[in-house]
Chains A and B, each alone.
Chain A
Amino acid sequence: MNYERILIRYGEISTKGRNRYKFVDTLKSNIKSALNEYPEIKIESTRDRMFLLLNGAPAEDVCIKLEKIFGIQSFSPTVRTGLDIEEIKDAALSLLKKLFSEGQTFKVSARRSDKTFPYDTNEINHEVGGHLLRNIEGLKVDVKKPDINLIVEVRKEGVFLSSEVIKGNGGMPVGSSGKAMLMLSGGIDSPVAGYLTMKRGVEIEAVHFHSPPFTSERAKQKVLDLSQKLAAFSGRVKVHIVPFTDIQQAIHQQVPENYTMTSTRRMMLRLSDDIRERGNGLAIVTGESLGQVASQTLESMLAINDVTNTPILRPLISMDKLEIIDIAKQIDTHEISNLPYEDCCTIFTPSSPKTKPKKEKVQFYESFVDFEPLIAEALEKTETIIIDASSEIMEKTEISDLF
C-alpha cells in the first residue's frame, strides 16, 4: 500500500486570530511552489490542517521538501479509508506490513472526532490491534514505547491512518510578515541571516553586488546557489544582481583608504534601500554580527546606517561565529559559502579600515562626488533573477539539453 496523502499540522498559525486564513493561504502557496515539480499534487486546506493529495507523487521525496518549509508544525504521510471498520483493518494491515520488521513492537492509537462512528477509541484500538496481531507473525504490543505507533483518526470526512509524525521546521509561513531585502554577499553569515528572517515569516529578496572584473562570474554563481538553498524554505527567492564596479571605483578615487570600507557599505545600503522601495519591501536584512570585522562595530554601524531610516534587521547580531557556522551547515549553505572566490566583501578591503569611523567625516569625503547618477545607472542595470526551489540555476536554453 502506498501513502495517498500527507496530513500537515500548522505551527504558530493556529494561535492566530482573524488573519489565520491569510496565513494558511500563504503556507499553501509556499508549499505549492516548493512542490512544483509534482503538478499532480492537490492541496486541500481546512481551518486547522492541510492535506496534500499525492495522486501518485512519491511520498518520501515530498516529505524531504516539506521538512524545510516554515509554518509547518509536523506532518504525517497518511492512508485514507472510508468510515468502515473492516476497511480500516485492511488498510492498517497493509500499512503495518510495509513498516514492520522482525521483532518490532506496535500500538494502535485511535482518535475519534466523529462521535457518530459506532466504535469508541478503545474498541477501535482493540479491533485493529487484534486484527494486526492475528495476521502478522512475531508482532508484539508495547503501549509505552512502541517501535510503530499506528494512529487511526476517525473524522467526518474519512478515517486517516498514519504511523509517523515528522517534525516540521516551525516558524511562520514565509510572506506572512511582509518582505525584506537581504544583502547577500556569498559569505557564511548573510544566508544564515536570511534563513532566520524567513523563519519569522518574512519574504526575502536577495541583493548582491557584482563588480566585474574584480569579482567573477563564479562569485555571482555562488550567490545564486546560496539563493537556491534559501528558496527551499519558502518556495522561491528573487535575486537582484547590482553592477557595482563604477561606484566602487569612484569611492576608491575619492575617499581616503581607511574610509573606503565605510563608504562602500553606505552605497550598498543606499542601493538596497532603493530596491526595497521599488519592490515594496519593509526592511533590509544583513548578516552583521557585532565585533566580527571592522564594519561590525557600533560606531561603524552608526556611520553606515546614516543613509537610511528603513529598519535594518540583523538577526545574527549577538551570535558567535561558531553558532552561525552551525546553522549554515544545517541549512546546507556552509559548503557553498566556503568556496574561495573574491566577492564584494573581500575585494578592496583596506589594510587598516577605520573601526570607529565618524559619519560626518565620511559624509564630507563623499560630498566631492555626485553619486546620484552612478546609483541611478546601477539600479537601471540591475539584473533580477527568480530562483525556485527545484529550478536549476543555469542558462537553461543554452545547456539544459546537455543533461
Chain B
Amino acid sequence: MSGRMAALRILLQIAFRDLFASRAKTLIVGGIILFGAVLVVVGSSLVDTVDAGMRASIQGSLAGHVQVYDARSKDPLALYGSMMGDPELTPFEDFARVKSAISAVPGVKQVVPMGLGTAMVSPGNLFDQAVAKLRADVRARLAGQGGPELEARTEAHAAHLRRMATLLRDDLRQATEIIEIGGKEAAERARNAEDLARATSPEFWDEELPRDPLAALEFLENRIAPLALEGTLIYIRYVGTDLEQFRRAFDRLEIVEGSLPPPGQRGLLIGKLYAEDYLKLRAARRLDQLQEAITLHHRKIAGDEELTRWVKEAGGQTREILMQLDPMQAAEAARRLRTALGSGEQDLGKLLGQLLAVDDRNFAERYRIFYGELAPMLQLYPFKVGDAVTVQGAARSGYTKSVNLKVWGLVQFKGLEKSGFAGVMSVMDIDSFRELFGWLTPEARAEIRGLKAAAGVKDLSREEAEASLFGSAPAAPPVVTGPVAAAPPGPAAPEQPHPLSREAGEGQGGGAATSPSDPDQGVALNAAVILDDPRHIPQAMRDIVAAGDRAGLHLKAVTWQEAAGMVGQFVTLARLVLYVAVLIIFAVALVIINNAMVMATLQRVTEIGTLRAIGAQRRFVWAMVLVESVSVGVAFGLVGSAIGAGVVWLIRAAGGIPATSDRMYFFFSGPSLLPRLGAGSLAVSLTIVLLVSVVSGLYPALIATRVTPLEAMQSGED
C-alpha cells in the first residue's frame, strides 16, 4: 500500500513538474476546463432554480401534484393549451365516481374537479352597447317602473346615442367629401345619410322615441348601429372548478381586485394579465406599454421603431374614446384637456389628438393627464368587477350555450403573473362550466331520444345518400295538397306564449346561485390531485390508475410537468440547451487536451524511453500521462466550480437577474431569478471534468506506453 502511495506521489510530482514546465499549454487546457466548470455550476444552478420555481408555481396554481383525466381522450391534457388549442378530452360524466376512487388512494389529500375551456363574450359595438342600455330603460318603463332616477338615466343614454349618431354623421360627410363613389354604393351611402339625418334630428328624439320607443330602438339597432365600428369578440380561457375546493387546494391563487364569489354563488374571476393585455382600452394599453418601456427599460421613443408605432397606434384610438362619452361628459373632458394642455382648441377630437401625440420630452406629463383627467370619465375595460356579462361557450354536446355571470374579481397566480400562457387564465364556478359545456342531464337526453324517435328518420351516410334518394324517379308527381291547402284564408290563431324552461329563467341577471346539489355531481374534464407528501408522486400515479381500473374507470395520471403541456416543456428545453452547450464545450476541451497531451508525449519520448530503460513498467508510463491530464482537469475543475459558486453567490447578493420581458418573468417565476447553488450542480461539474480528463488522457497514455528505450535513443540521435 505504501509502495503504491509512493508511486502516486512520484507520479504527481512528475505531473506537476510537467504542467509547470509547459505553462502555456497548461493554461490553455485548464482555461477551457475552468470555463466549462463555471458554466456547468452556474447554468445548472439557474436551470434548477427555474425548475423549482415553475414547479411550485404550476403545482400551486392549476396542476396540483398529479393531474388525472380520461385515458380515452383524443388529446393529451395541456392545462395551458397547446399549439392546436384546447385539448379534446373525454369528459368524466360522473365526477363523484372518479373522486371516490381517487380519494381512496393512500396519501391523496384532495381531488379538485376541473374543466378547461374557452368562452366568448360578445359585447357588440359601442353603439350596440349604448342601445342595449336604452332598451333596458325602455323595458323598465314598460314594466311600470318610473321615477326621476330612471328618467335621468334614460335621458343620459338617449343623449349619448344622439351624440354617437352625430359623430357617425360627421364621419360620413367627411368620407363623402374625400371619396366620390357611384352606382349601388352611392345609393347605399345616400340612404345611410338619410338614416343618420333622422337619427340626429330633434323630431326623432323628442317625438318618435317617446311615441313608439320600441320601433325607434329597432331603427337605431338595424340602420344606425351597423354603421358604427365593428364590435370585437372577447375570448376568455378559463378553468371551471368548485371555487371552494380550488381555493383550499391552490395557495398561489391571488385576488388582485374584488373577491371570490360567496359560497353557492356563480361567478367569474378574470385573469389580471388578460384584462390588461387584451381587454383594456387600446389607447390606454399603448400608453401603459410606453410607460413601462420608458421608465423600466429606459428606452427612448425617438429612433425606436416599436415605440414610435405604439405612439401612432395610441393616437389612432381617439374615436373609441369619443364614442364613449355622452354630450355632458364630452364637454367636461374637453374643458379638462384644454386646462391641462394649455390649449385653446374647442374640438374634443383634436384635443385628444394633442394629448396622445407624445414624445420623450412630454410623455410623463401626458401620461399623468390621461390617467388623472381623462381616464376617470372612461370605461377602460369592456366590463368591470361587479358587472354581469353574458358568457358563451361552444358546447361539446349541443349548440352554443350562454350564461350570465357576474365578474367577481381579477385574479392571478403567484409566480405566473406575467406568463402569456398562465397569466391569462380566468376561473369560473363549476356549474357555469357545466352549462357552457352543454352537459345533458339524463332527462334532457331522454327528451332528445323521444324527439328523434317521433321523427322516425332514416340515417343516410354521404356515400349512400344520392343512390338511396334519387335512385328511382317517383311514379307519380309529388303530393299536390299541403297541410292547410284547403283551410280558409284568414288570420292565424293567436300565438300562445312558450312556457320558459327552468334553465332559461335561472341565468337572468347574472350572479345567480349555484344549484344546492353537491358540486362533485356532474361532468368534469380533469382533476387536480393534491398529495400529503409530494415526494410520492410516481407511486401515487400508479395507485390512482390501479384504483381507476378497479372502479371500471379509465384514468390516466400525469405529473404537473406533463399536464402543463408546452409550458412544462420549457424547463426541459432550457435544460437541454444547457446540456448541449456543455457537451460542445467539453467535446472541444477533450479534443484540445488530447492533442496537447499527444504533443507533450511525443516531445518527451527520450524521457519516457529512459524511464523504460531504467525499469519503469508500461503501467507506470500509462499512469504518468493519465495522472497529468487528470491533475490539470481536477485542479482547474475545482477552481472553475469555485468561481461558478462565487458567481451564483454574487448574482444572489446583487438581487438576482431581473426579468426584462414577460417571457423571462415567467421563466424566473417572478420579477427576478435568485439562483440557488445546489450540491448537485457541484457534483455534476466535477464528475464531468473528471470524466473528460480521463478520456482525453487515454490516447496519449497509450502512445506513451508504446515508447521503447530504443526509440528514445534513436530520437536522441536525430
Query: Do these two chains really belong together in a complex?
Result: no
Q: Which residues of A contact B (CB under 8 A)?
A: none
Q: Which residues of B contact A (CB under 8 A)?
A: none
